[in-house]
Amino acid sequence: MYTFTASRINEVHKKLVFRLVWKNKSLSRTQIGSFFGFSKSTVSQIVKELIAENLLIESGRAKSSVGKKPVLLSINPDGPRLIGSLVKDSGEIAAALISLNGSILHKESCTARDASPNQVAREVVHLIQKVLQNFPQENILGIGIGVPGIVHHKQGTIEYSAHFSWKNLPFLEMVKEYLLKNVPVVIDNRTIAATLGEMWFGLAQENKNFVCINCGEALGMGIVIEERVYRGAEDGAGEVGHIVLDNSQESCFCGKKGCLETSIALPKIMEKLNGKNYYDTETAVQILTEKRKESKVKKSLEDAFLRLGDLAAVVVNILAPEKVVFTGALTQVDPLLLLEKVKERLNERALEPLAKKVKLTISPLQRDKEVLWGAALVMEHLFNLYEFTKEDTK
């Protein structure tokens, strides 16, 4: 049980109001008060502070047949900016300046020359600094960086990254020293970032219970239960790429054999087709898309999508989510075939009532829009309703 200070209660109320306006796009003060049961004066004070912080704006008047039309409140598209950054297993790195409504204002990208921690950290910092060159830095709300591997998000430490062979890497310390002072920097697992991207900017804004399966250079899953990311012990929940579902002896990046990722990850698919796996992500997607009708390529894709269906069936039977969102480079190749094969396997192997109710979707946050994942890390960090500190109870 928590006993909050008055100032902390006010901060929680502000988060509640901000998230409500975010979800509904525009609301009046009266609607906000009715939803939460807040008094008129409480709503007025909260809205006043959010407007003063440039988070909300008065955006017009509601339609009304009688009386004075109420003033509507919306998210301020010209308010503070976000920095979103993403590091992929392939070494591709991106960073972008993003508005509160999810518009990407400026983006930079590169590929790290090698996978050493120092090199990747330097490239991340360099891209963020380039993005910030022509923008007033006092208006940055926060910086979010999605990285591969198991990440202790509160410390910003990458405990283990199979593709990069990183262990116990203090990534937050490595980049924060060279970034803006007094601006929050959030480091988290890339798939958790993708999941929050769907919650804040994508297809799961209305869902309380959903999973996001990220299938591209690797395979991972984010889990949201009652609008809260489930992280498990040691922030390790969702490492589904390293589940073994059969007796395959194929070697995985993690050093073990038979991991599900060996059937689904884009590099493994390219290796099976062409005997090599060193294509960059964009080239691999382009090749597979162009050749997806060829029998050999189609068979490889169908096999991968059916394996995704196996995973989806397990997930649906265990978690019973409202929605499964698929994201990542593999979903760009043949999204209709992916959904067809996943649904086929889901119907075969999941309980009928659960399989019937769950909605399968492909994320719209693809390629250039993936930097929104990093922005979503900032949004959840600043407007999270569930994580409290010792200072909250003083």
Q: How many other CB atoms are found less than 10 A from the CB of residue 234? A: 10
Q: For position 65, what pLDDT does the model report? A: 58
Which strand (E) or helix (H) includes residue 148? none
Residue range 350-389, pLDDT digits in tens: 999 999 999 999 999 988 899 999 999 999 999 998 765 4
For residues 224 and 346, membership in a common domain is answered with yes
Cβ atoms of 202 and 193 within 8 Å: the answer is no
Residue range 112-158, pLDDT digits in tens: 888 899 999 999 999 999 999 988 777 999 999 999 999 999 999 99
pTM: 0.93
CATH number at residue 30: 1.10.10.10
Which strand (E) or helix (H) includes residue 228? strand 228-230
Q: For position 387, what pLDDT does the model report? A: 67
Residue range 238-278, pLDDT digits in tens: 999 998 877 777 888 788 888 899 889 898 899 888 876 66
* Structure tokens given for 64: 């009304």
- DSSP annotation string for 179-214: S-TTS-EEEEEHHHHHHHHHHHTSTTTT-SSEEEEE
Could you tell me the sign of the dihedral formed by the alpha carbons of 73, 76, 79, 85, in that order?
positive
For residues 58 and 87, membership in a common domain is answered with no
Q: Report, in angstroms and rounded to the nearest whole number, the Rg of the chain calculated over CA atoms.
A: 22
329, part of any domain: yes
393, part of any domain: no
Q: For position 246, what pLDDT does the model report? A: 75
**Structural domain boundaries, residue 66:** 6-76
Q: For position 256, what pLDDT does the model report? A: 84
For residues 207 and 353, membership in a common domain is answered with yes
For residues 72 and 85, membership in a common domain is answered with no
State which of 76, 98, 128 marks the end of a domain.
76
Q: For position 390, what pLDDT does the model report? A: 44
Q: Which contacts (CB < 8 Å, 24+ apart) does range 62-71 have?
A: 62/28, 70/28, 70/29, 70/30, 70/31, 71/28, 71/29
388, part of any domain: no
State which of 54, 76, 98 marks the end of a domain.
76
1, part of any domain: no
Q: For position 66, what pLDDT does the model report? A: 67
For residues 142 and 95, membership in a common domain is answered with yes
255, part of any domain: yes
Q: For position 277, what pLDDT does the model report? A: 64
Residue 393 has pLDDT above 90, yes or no: no
For residues 338 and 219, membership in a common domain is answered with yes
Domain count, the chain: 3
Mean pLDDT throughout 64-71? Answer: 76
3-state secondary structure of 364: coil
> Residue 178: pLDDT band by 50, 70, 90 thresholds?
very high
Q: Which residue has the higher pLDDT, 115 or 175?
A: 175
Residue corresponding to tokens 């200072």: 391
DSSP 257: B
Mean pLDDT throughout 53-62? Answer: 92
Residue 208 has pLDDT above 80, yes or no: yes
Q: Sheet harboring 359-362: ordered strands across?
A: 228-230, 219-225, 210-215, 323-327, 359-362
- DSSP annotation string for 34-103: HHHT--HHHHHHHHHHHHHTTSEEEEEE---SSSSPPEEEEE-TTS-EEEEEEE-TTSEEEEEEE-TTS-
State which of 76, 104, 121 marks the end of a domain.
76
Residue 42 has pLDDT above 80, yes or no: yes
389, part of any domain: no
CATH number at residue 251: 3.30.420.40
For residues 207 and 154, membership in a common domain is answered with no
Cβ atoms of 209 and 358 within 8 Å: the answer is no
For residues 188 and 229, membership in a common domain is answered with no
For residues 40 and 179, membership in a common domain is answered with no
Burial class (CB in 10 A: 0-12, 13-18, 19+), 113: exposed
| Rounded Cα gap, residues 378 and 387, in angstroms | 14
Residue range 288-337, pLDDT digits in tens: 999 999 999 999 999 999 999 999 999 999 999 999 999 999 999 999 99
Percent of the chain at pLDDT exceeding 70: 95
For residues 207 and 190, membership in a common domain is answered with no
Residue range 12-39, pLDDT digits in tens: 999 999 999 999 999 999 999 999 999 9
390, part of any domain: no
Residues 23, 29, 32: CA angle, nearest 5 degrees: 45
Nearest-CA neighbor of 159 among 69, 58, 221, 239?
A: 239
30, part of any domain: yes
> Residue 163: pLDDT band by 50, 70, 90 thresholds?
confident
Residues 379, 370, 80: CA angle, nearest 5 degrees: 35
Q: For position 353, what pLDDT does the model report? A: 96
For residues 150 and 14, membership in a common domain is answered with no
For residues 39 and 111, membership in a common domain is answered with no
